[in-house]
Amino acid sequence: MTPSAPSLPFRDKGLANTVAAETQMSFIDGAKGVLEYVGIDIDSLARQSTFEETVFLLWNRRLPKAAELQAFCASVRSEYEVDARVHDIVRALPRSTPPMHALRTLVSCLAHFDREADENSPEANRRKALRLLAKTPTLIAMFDRHRKGKPFIAPDRSIGIAENFLWMLNGARPTEAMSRALDICLVLHADHGLNASTFAARVTVATLSDMYSAITTAVGTLKGPLHGGANQEVMEMLLEIGDISKVDDYIMGKLSRKELVMGFGHRVYKAYDPRAGFLKTFAKQVATDTGNITLYDMSRRIEEIMAREVSAKGIYPNVDFYSATTYYSLGLDLDLFTCIFAMSRVGGWAGHCIEQLEANRLIRPQADYVGPHGVKYVAIAQR
Ligand code: CMC
């Protein structure tokens, strides 16, 4: 007899209608296109804050006083270096490995050199959050130098995360405008509710595993082209199109074949993604300053076509659309784009791990079994 399937409380494929956690970090109103970190709108933060201050805000749910920010920045900078044995691990990775694979491995490796890796007290988790925030840019820059056959550049404790990253990556001092442009992108990407990678991090930490495992899970989840991997694909698309005269045919062709246009659409926003709104103006400035205005013009044309064809479905540019042109204009390699997203989102992921553990409950949804029942086991020789 076939047993009847257990009745499930709620079927919600993709969990779009499920609230699985409480957060005080970011608020999203997808219908109105609003994003706030701890109640402060993203536009104000992008204009006036820095990445370090934004992370302090997310982790402490208030803005720091000047002395607190100074102390926080000093603590982050004191953690920039990674253990010498991590240098050897970076060198052992194949140069052809995509950087997001390298980052996933290297974030995981940090746990081996942290005596507090399995210490789950709130204080230890804050210290680990700080280490992950500080060391992730170092790992990305080191791997990029390794794959290009260049020597590692030691981090500079006298400068902030964005500037230090560009320094370690290029071995040349970035201009103030370049550092600030990257810093703004880091502010915009730092947190975004219960997105897929943040959810993955919370699921991992909710088992009382450890923060390194949670951030490793999150890096792997961010990598997918439906999530953080889209920024690289946007840039590949722009380069493939190559010229503004080819944009219309390319995009109309994609839509007629029912293919996705990367950098558009969002699970939560059915209005303009406010991060994309800010980045659009910003990308234009950076593209003008760096001689890449044709890429920006192509992006604008893609947006016009998408607005005409699919905005009725609530599909607008998302954060990845204009961040792609911005990163490209800053001279960053395409396959580093998602790593830079990760470098910022570590702030959000770690904050969510801390928050999850403040009122933890194992996250364990149910699956609706749709397979057969009562199937006889057939011995291997009879199959
Ligand atoms: N291009 C063309 N059509 C689209 C797109 C797109 N980028 N996104 C959604 N649609 C269509 C989709 O085909 C569907 O059409 P129909 O109703 O005719 O079948 C409709 O819009 C609804 O889409 P959906 O798949 O139900 O939306 P979703 O909420 O499941 O997916 C998404 C959201 C982000 C996965 C999807 O929009 C997408 O794949 N976008 C491209 C990838 C991308 O840019 N990802 C970055 C997201 S923002 C950064 C981040 O948070 O990681």
Mean pLDDT computed over 324-337:
93
Nearest Cα residue to atom 29 of ligand 1: 267
Distance 316 CA to ligand 1 centre (A): 10
Q: Is 144 a catalytic residue?
A: no
Q: Whose CA is nearest to atom 28 of ligand 1?
A: 267
Q: Is 226 near ligand 1, meaning CB less than 6 Å away? A: yes
Q: Which is it for strands 34-37 and 26-29: parallel, antiparallel or unpaired?
A: antiparallel
Compute the mean pLDDT over every residue in the chain, rounded to the nearest whole number: 95
**How many angstroms separate the Cα of 326 from the Cα of each of 9, 195, 217, 302?**
45, 23, 27, 16
- Ligand 1 atom at minimal distance to the Cα of residue 222: 52
Question: Above 80 in pLDDT, residue 7?
Answer: no
**For the CA of 314, the nearest atom of ligand 1:** 21
Beta carbons of 327 and 340 less than 8 angstroms apart: yes
Query: Residue 5 above 70 pLDDT?
Result: no
User: pLDDT digits over 105-126, tens only?
Assistant: 999 999 999 999 999 999 999 9
Identify the pLDDT of residue 275: 93
Query: Which atom of ligand 1 approaches the CA of 227 most closely?
Result: 52
DSSP strands (E only) in the chain: 26-29, 34-37, 40-41
Q: Is 320 a catalytic residue?
A: yes
Q: How confident is the model at residue 55 (pLDDT cuts 50, 70, 90)?
A: very high
CATH 1.20.1300.10: does it fit domain 26-225+334-358? Answer: no
Cα(304)–Cα(142) distance, integer angstroms = 39
Q: How far is the CA of 184 from the centre of ligand 1 (A)?
A: 25
Structure token digits, residue 306 = 């998408």
What is the structure's pLDDT at 167? Answer: 97
Please enumerate in sequence order all residues whose Cβ is within 8 A of that of 331, keeping only pairs 6 or more positions apart, or say none. 170, 290
Sign (positive or negative) of CA dihedral 324, 327, 328, 332: negative
Cβ pair 325, 296 in contact under 8 A: yes
Q: Is the CB of 254 under 6 A from ligand 1?
A: no
230-329 carries CATH number 2.40.50.140: no
The CATH 1.10.580.10 portion of the chain extends over 26-225+334-358
**Does 227 sit in the ligand 1 pocket, CB within 6 Å?**
yes
Write the burial class of residue 347 (CB in 10 Å: 0-12 exposed, 13-18 middle, 19+ buried): buried
Region 311-334: what's the mean pLDDT? Answer: 92
Closest C-alpha among 172, 94, 173, 122 to residue 351: 122
At 266 the three-state DSSP class reads coil
Which whole number is the average pLDDT over 51-64?
98
Mean pLDDT for the stretch of residues 357-371: 94
pLDDT at 229: 87
CB 71 within 8 A of CB 47: no
**CB-CB contact of 56 with 63 (8 Å):** yes
pLDDT of residue 1: 43
Q: Is the pLDDT of residue 6 over 60?
A: no
Residue 10 is predicted with a pLDDT of 78
Q: Which of 114, 146, 320, 352 is catalytic?
A: 320
Residue range(s) in the chain whose domain bears CATH number 1.10.230.10: 230-329
Q: State the pLDDT at residue 11.
A: 87
Considering the chain, what percentage of its residues have pLDDT values greater than 90? Answer: 87
pLDDT above 70: percentage of residues in the chain: 98
Instruction: Give CA separation, 138 vs 107, 313, 380, in Å.
Output: 11, 41, 52
Catalytic residue among 146, 189, 266, 352: 266
- Which residue, chain included where needed, has tokens 């779009």? 16
Closest protein CA for atom 20 of ligand 1: 313
Q: Which of 267, 273, 302 to mutate to test the pocket of ligand 1 (most atoms within 8 A of CB)?
A: 267
Q: What's the rounded Cα separation, in Å, for the pair 339 and 139? A: 10
* Tens digit of each residue's pLDDT (9 = 90 or more) over 292-308: 999 999 999 999 999 99
| Residue 319 beta carbon below 6 angstroms from any ligand 1 atom | yes
**pLDDT tier, 60 (very low <50, low <70, confident <90, very high otherwise):** very high
Q: How far is the CA of 100 from the centre of ligand 1 (A)?
A: 22
Distance 262 CA to ligand 1 centre (A): 8
Q: Is the CB of 301 under 6 A from ligand 1?
A: no
Q: What is the mean pLDDT of residues 93-104?
A: 98
Q: Whose CA is nearest to atom 6 of ligand 1?
A: 260
Q: Residues 126-153: pLDDT tens digits? A: 999 999 999 999 999 999 999 999 999 9
Which pLDDT tens digit goes with each residue over 10-39?
A: 788 899 888 999 999 999 999 999 999 999
Whether 257 is in the pocket of ligand 1, judged by its Cβ within 6 Å, is no
Output the pTM of the full model: 0.93
| Residue having the nearest C-alpha atom to atom 2 of ligand 1 | 260
